């Protein structure tokens, strides 16, 4: 029997409630209705995950080291398979001579993405799509330059496609998505849509940059999937009568409700691998400087950069939250919903950390002033 695609699995589950732990769907669309919080989630029998740690000042080397410690990318990606890579490129459209979103800590570093593409191609991947929605319908991937300025994602996509004889595509999801796939969510919206480029891939890899978020506490590998929804309301795509990404941030306000939304979107995306960029990130009222965040170079706090990797995205996010000393309430609340939905492991004692101990990694990271229930919109550049 052939393996079911993500799209086929979504069709099977479309008639059920969103997520295994989703509350009863609400009917007040566009309101700030509070979703009922579940009881705190206990660890389940059989839980277990590995999170690998790489430290240093060379993101290419660190990324490959973290992947090798997991058993290598070939343990996830097989010959002839397709891969969708989801970085956080929230402010890439504004990149230029005086605006450096990677040095500001707003976007995933290209060095990490390039290393992952290369490793996937070495494993025999036939097609790799790197895609994000960002905040404009179309943007220039050549502006996604490495920190040393020597190359960029557009140039590397061409080089690696030629080297391996495979397809490496860079997708602006709002204009490059062939079809928008409805999925159920456990908030008052009831349904949102996500890019078919995600649901049609054999494997999905989430590569966020670690940031705080004034609506969601933290934006890590699960929150990263908000970027696979469309900016439809502004006429940039024809996604049907659903909800645009800005409205997703305004509806059912509050970190628990918003967490419910992106947990359900991440469940549909079903990432096979998470790699968290903890080099230059953001603290305070992130996820951008315009939202009120503050750039932090991890080497200033820790003495080196950090890359985390895991085939359990929930465990990766829980570990990152603990590294930043921001475990509560994000892990028991937001990640507790993911754990209850069978998406991964949150309990520290059930996560094997390879490469360092938590005590060796912990830093002080300024928490956001989290916006609670209100429905008066969100400021610019606060959406990923």
Q: How do residues 121-178 score in pLDDT, each as one tens digit?
A: 999 999 999 999 998 889 999 999 999 999 999 999 999 999 999 999 999 999 999 9
Task: Specify if 286 maps to a domain.
Answer: yes
Would 18 be classed as within a structural domain?
no
Contact 62/307 with Cβ under 8 angstroms?
yes
pLDDT tens figures, 46-105: 578 999 999 999 999 999 999 999 999 999 999 999 999 999 999 999 999 999 999 999
Bigger pLDDT: 14 vs 56? 56
| Within a domain: 106 | yes
Domain interval for residue 79:
46-361
Structure tokens at 16: 């059920």
Three-state secondary-structure class, residue 62: helix
Domain assignment present for 103: yes
Alpha-carbon distance 277 to 309, whole Å? 9
For residues 282 and 105, the answer to whether their CB atoms sit within 8 Å is: yes
Which range, of 86-90, 211-215, 250-254, 316-320, averages the lowest pLDDT? 250-254
Torsion angles phi and psi, residue 205, rounded to 5: -125, 125
CB 271 within 8 A of CB 309: no
Give the span between the Cα atoms of 209 and 211, in whole angstroms.
6
Q: Kindly report the number of other CB atoms within 10 A of residue 8's CB atom.
A: 12
Q: Would 1 be classed as within a structural domain?
A: no
Q: Residue 34 domain-assigned? A: no
Count of the separate structural domains present in the chain: 1
Domain annotation covers residue 312: yes
Q: Could you give the CA distance from residue 99 to residue 83 in angstroms, rounded to a whole number?
A: 30
pLDDT band of residue 239 (cuts 50, 70, 90) is very low
Flag whether 270 is in a domain. Answer: yes
Q: What is the pTM of this model?
A: 0.88
Examine the pLDDT at 236 and tell me if it is beyond 70. no
Burial class (CB in 10 A: 0-12, 13-18, 19+), 47: middle
- Pairing outcome for strands 82-87 and 203-207: parallel
């Amino acid at each position: 029997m052939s393996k079911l695609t993500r799209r086929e699995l979504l069709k099977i589950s479309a008639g059920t409630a969103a997520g295994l732990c989703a509350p009863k769907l609400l009917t007040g669309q566009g309101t700030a209705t509070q979703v009922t919080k579940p009881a705190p989630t206990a660890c389940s029998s059989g839980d277990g995950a590995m999170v690998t740690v790489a430290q240093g000042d060379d993101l290419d080397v660190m990324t490959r080291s973290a992947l090798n410690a997991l058993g290598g990318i070939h343990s996830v990606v097989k010959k002839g398979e397709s891969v969708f890579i989801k970085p956080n490129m929230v402010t890439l459209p504004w990149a230029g001579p005086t605006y450096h979103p990677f040095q500001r800590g707003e976007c995933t570093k290209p060095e990490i993405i390039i290393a992952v593409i290369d490793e996937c191609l070495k494993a025999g991947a036939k097609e790799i799509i790197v895609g994000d929605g960002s905040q404009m319908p179309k943007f220039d991937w050549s502006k996604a330059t490495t920190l040393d300025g020597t190359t960029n994602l557009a140039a590397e996509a061409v080089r690696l496609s030629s080297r391996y004889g495979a397809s490496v595509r860079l997708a602006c999801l709002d204009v490059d998505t062939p079809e928008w796939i409805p999925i159920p969510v456990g908030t008052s919206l009831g349904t949102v849509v996500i890019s078919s480029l995600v649901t049609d891939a054999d494997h999905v890899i989430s590569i966020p940059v670690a940031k705080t978020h004034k609506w969601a506490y933290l934006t890590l590998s699960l929150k990263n999937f908000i970027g696979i929804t469309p900016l439809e309301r502004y006429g940039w795509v024809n996604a049907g009568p659903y909800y645009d990404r800005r409205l997703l941030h305004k509806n059912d306000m509050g970190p628990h409700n918003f967490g419910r939304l992106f947990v359900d979107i991440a469940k549909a995306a079903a990432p096979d691998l998470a790699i968290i960029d903890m080099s230059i990130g953001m603290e305070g009222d992130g996820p951008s400087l315009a939202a009120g965040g503050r750039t932090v170079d991890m080497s200033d706090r820790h003495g080196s950069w950090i890359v985390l990797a895991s085939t359990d995205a929930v465990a990766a996010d829980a570990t990152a939250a603990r590294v930043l000393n921001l475990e509560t309430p994000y892990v028991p609340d937001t990640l507790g919903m993911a754990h209850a939905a069978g998406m991964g492991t949150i309990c520290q004692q059930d996560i094997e950390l390879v490469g360092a101990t938590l005590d060796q990694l912990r830093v002080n990271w300024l928490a956001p002033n989290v916006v609670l229930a209100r429905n008066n919109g969100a400021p610019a550049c606060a959406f990923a």
